Amino acid sequence: MSNIVTDTTIYTGKPDCTGRLQKETGTYDLLDKLGIEYFRLDHKETNSIDDCHEVEKLLEIEICKNLFLCNSARTRFYLLVMPGDKKFDTKAVSRQIGSTRLSFAPAEHMERYLNITPGSVSILGLMNDVEKKVGLLIDRDILKSEYFGCHPCVNTSSLKIKTNDLLTKFLAYTGHSPSYVEL
């Protein structure tokens, strides 16, 4: 057994929310409201994509890499969702979206717009971006998988969600239209 996963049970639906943060329970509430089914694995903190390998095996998915980025003036913010095994090429993404060179955005902006902390970045944080300050960038390879793997706004659980539900139900609710990129 690894240091990350101590309970290999795959759960469906909302957990007992006692002791869980509101940002996590709010995620489950929204997914339930939207009729989005999900599988859940609880685990210790995963602070990097490398920490997620056992989670991926148990959920039979690839956890997506989610990067919170900004332009050089810090006036435009982006959430880039890409396969976990791909390398981020800032020059290629910047060119594809017509932006000055992108870099990692400061944590305070991530918390302000998405209500997430570093290590917990997730597309599901867009539910908190009611002012639409964050543009969504999705690597086209994400569309090839039936399922999408991400955190429920905290890095102590991981979810397996149908990619189509995420794109059609969740993003329709948040009002974020993705721009597709190729890395």
Over the stretch 141-172, which tens digit does the pLDDT of each residue have? Answer: 999 999 999 999 999 999 999 999 999 999 99
DSSP output for 75-132? --EEEEEEETTSPP-HHHHHHHHT-SPPEEPPHHHHHHHH---TT---GGGGGG-TT-
Query: Tell me: the pLDDT tens digits for 55-77?
Result: 888 999 988 899 999 999 999 99
Distance of alpha carbon 16 from alpha carbon 24, whole angstroms: 11
Beta-carbon count within 10 A of 52 CB:
24
Q: Is residue 2 very low, low, confident or very high in pLDDT (cuts 50, 70, 90)?
A: low
Token output for 73 = 């003036």
Q: What's the whole-model pTM score?
A: 0.93
